[in-house]
Structure formats: C-alpha cells, structure tokens
C-alpha cells in the first residue's frame, strides 16, 4: 500500500500534558462550555476547567487519534472539576487512557445505567471498552493530566450526556471524594 501519512514525533511534557510541537491548537473548555454538565452550572463563565491537546490524524478507522487532557483542580458547587464525558458516536469503539499526573477518578457508564469508577494517577492504564461512556474527574489538589488514544472514527457524542448526565456524580466530601447517585439520571443501574 501507499502510506497515507509520514511518520512524526512530538515531545510530551508528562506533568503538564503540553506537546512540542503542538501540531494543533489546544482546545480549552471554560465554565461557559460546561453549562448543563454539572448539577449546578459554573458561576464563572471564563474559568478554565480543562484543556485538550489533540495530536491530529484523519478521523478514520485505520488511524489512532491521540490527545492529552489536563483538568484544573477545583469544584463547581461541591462537584469536582471534570470533563463533559461522552459515548462514542460509533458505540463499539474502544479507548485507552494513561494517567500522567495528579489524582483523578475515571467514571464509566453504559446506556442502560450501569456504572463503574477507577482511580487515576501517574501510570494508571485504563481500558475503556466500546459501549461505555467515559468522564474524568480531578479529585486532587493539582492538575490531573492523562493521555487518551482511540480508534480514529469513534467520534464524541456529548448530547446524550447533556440530556441524562452520568448515573453517578463525584463531590468533595469531608473525608475526600464521595460518589453518589445522580438524581437526574433516568435509569441508574448497578455499580459494576
């Protein structure tokens, strides 16, 4: 076959998730971008919640999309800062996350409401099978950074999450993070 792409390399800062060269502009997500995702909307529309740094390749099944994400520490009305979370548009597409810095929780959920959480930290390697929505939550005092790699044509379905949320929410408790049922989710299932 005739190769479609030339090989390339970029240098990843394992602490901050920055890439050199970047190859694509970072995609910041501010409070205003996360309206509807927390139980209470962010007060400050200009507050940086997280930032995605893509390593772009064609969005096709033969390619591996890759990105880093850094979530700033903090809470929105008691809920820890988190990504929007998504199902893949092509539901069966899987993904790998690798924790690089900070302390987090990976929350996963199926469409029928089953849910699962895993701690994230430097070196934690997470396999997210097809059919599981995924959201990362920064439960620490420092930025949470991780690397994601997924099948190129997966696509991100945020609308289902905007409508239903995840079956569980992660709040700051007196003794650390507390995972509780999301009262707005239409079908909270078993903890897997």
Candidate list 70, 82, 95, 120; residue touching Fe ion; CB under 5 A: 95
Helix residue ranges, H only, the chain? 159-164
Q: Which of 144, 169, 189 is nearest to 15 (CA)?
A: 144
Candidates 59-67, 94-102, 137-145, 158-166; binding stretch for Fe ion (CB under 5 A): 94-102
Q: Which of 103, 150, 153, 157 is nearest to 133 (CA)?
A: 157
79 binds Fe ion (CB under 5 A): no
Tell me the site size for Fe ion, rule CB under 5 A: 1
Candidates 47-55, 74-82, 95-103, 164-172; binding stretch for Fe ion (CB under 5 A): 95-103
> Residues 146 to 175: which contact Fe ion by CB under 5 A?
none
Shorter beta-carbon distance to Fe ion: residue 72 or 157: 157
Shorter beta-carbon distance to Fe ion: residue 79 or 95: 95
- The residue whose Cβ lies closest to Fe ion is 95
Residue 161 DSSP SS3 = helix
CB neighbours of 152 closer than 8 A, spacing ≥ 6?
A: 57, 58, 59, 60, 61, 62, 63, 64, 65
- State the residues that interact with Fe ion by CB under 5 A: 95
């Amino acid at each position: 076959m005739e190769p479609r792409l030339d090989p390339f390399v970029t240098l990843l800062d394992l602490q901050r998730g920055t890439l050199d060269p970047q190859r694509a502009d970072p995609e910041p997500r501010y409070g205003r971008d996360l309206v509807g995702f927390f139980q209470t909307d962010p007060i400050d529309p200009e507050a940086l919640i997280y930032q995605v740094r893509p390593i772009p390749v064609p969005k096709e099944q033969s390619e591996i999309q890759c990105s880093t994400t850094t979530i700033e520490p903090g809470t929105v009305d008691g809920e820890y800062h988190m990504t929007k979370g998504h199902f893949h548009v092509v539901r069966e597409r899987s993904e790998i996350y690798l924790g690089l810095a900070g302390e987090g929780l990976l929350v996963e959920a199926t469409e029928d409401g089953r849910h699962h959480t895993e701690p994230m930290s430097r070196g934690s390697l997470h396999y997210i099978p097809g059919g599981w929505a995924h959201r990362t939550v920064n439960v620490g005092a420092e930025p949470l950074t991780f690397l994601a790699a997924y099948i190129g044509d997966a696509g991100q379905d945020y609308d289902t999450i905007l409508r239903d949320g995840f079956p569980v929410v992660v709040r700051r408790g007196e003794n650390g993070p507390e995972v509780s049922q999301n009262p707005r989710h239409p079908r909270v299932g078993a903890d897997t």
